[in-house]
Amino acid sequence: MNVAAAAHEPAVRDIRFGIIGCSAIAPRALLEPIGHVAGARVTALANRTVAKAGEMADRFGVSVVYRHAEDLLKDPDIDAVYIALSNDLHAEWIGKALQAHKHVLVEKPLCLSTADLIPLAATVEQSSAYLLEGVMVQHHPWQRELRRIVESGCYGRLRSIATSLCIPAKNGHAFNYRSRPEQGGGCFWDLGVYWLQLLQAVVGLEQAEFRSQSDFNGPHGCDWTFHAQAHYPGGLEASALFSFERPYRCAHVLTFDSAVVSLQDCFRANLGFYKITLKTEMRDITPNITATDASTEGPSHQLQSKMKTVFEPMNYYVNQLEAFCSIIRGEAEPIPFREAAERVRLLAAIHEAARSGKTIYAG
């Protein structure tokens, strides 16, 4: 965003949102959460199928429906837009919305092509509006807590991070962009951003080497199961499993020298207000074992203790919307565009590497 231009804008009090694309995620990501965010409301919807937009508008009390998104962008009574289109349309409509001076919250991933990043970066820089990629988990305090644990060294060196993001496809994602490669379909484009953002937030992506594997045996050649690994110079290994066909499991497990910290069911808070729990299991070898002790058969001499850090019930999408509104009002610093751009570059490269077998080197 052009900071000089923003400085001359009056403070936004009541932020009026328009939605471009009445996809299934729109109610959960914006229409329902906005009722919990003071000073924000949805005033218009745009969808090429007007009947679908009309039904959604009636359900949520939205007063204006447009057939064409261009008309929504011309509406002077809209301050910000939420883009809920298929992945291949994100870059185009981000650009159009920013040029129309609308703040933009766009579903992840930001875009599919690294070629789109240069014009997008220029538009962001020149615009008086803000852009936020909708990576819902990044606004929850569990990420800051994990980073604090890593940086404190309280459990010794971080040895590995194991991530599983497996969400079975409902009806095989038939008639859904997730089953169409040309629209950014497949499990890695859908879920990989969460893994990269976690690494980015907790340990950084610098100097990591990435490898990946997939059979690309989903509908139309999409990746229905995808494996990825990141190796860091200090020895840290991060691995991830993504799948639309394996049993549901969404979890992160961080293994340190003297503890294992796990976050199970890490996506639960996207369904409503739920507690998120970090579980820590400590392992300490008992010192000063005597010869008699050492010769005694039985379990190893190891003390185990378990701890929990429980966060109050939160909703990922409410957190995200509150963060975005705070950025628009100038109450919080915007998340730099370069972070989302870095993820897009790696998503594209890692996805392609599963076909080529190449190793990808982060900058």
* Beta partners for residue 211, in sequence order: 229
Chain centroid to CA 336: how far? Answer: 15
The radius of gyration of the chain from alpha carbons, rounded to an integer in Å, stands at: 22
Tell the residue number behind the tokens 């990044």, with chain if given.
138
Q: What is the DSSP letter of 199?
A: H
108 is catalytic: yes
Are 103 and 40 within 8 A, CB to CB? no
Are 241 and 229 within 8 A, CB to CB? no
What pairing do the DSSP bridges indicate for beta strands 274-285 and 302-314? antiparallel
SS3 category, 17: strand
State the sign of the Cα–Cα–Cα–Cα dihedral 278, 273, 246, 175.
negative
Q: Is 316 exposed, middle or buried (0-12, 13-18, 19+ CB in 10 A)?
A: buried
The residue annotated as part of the active site, out of 74, 96, 102, 108, is: 108
- Going from the C-alpha of 279 to that of each of 3, 42, 260, 276, the distances in angstroms are 41, 38, 8, 10
> Annotated catalytic sites, by residue?
108
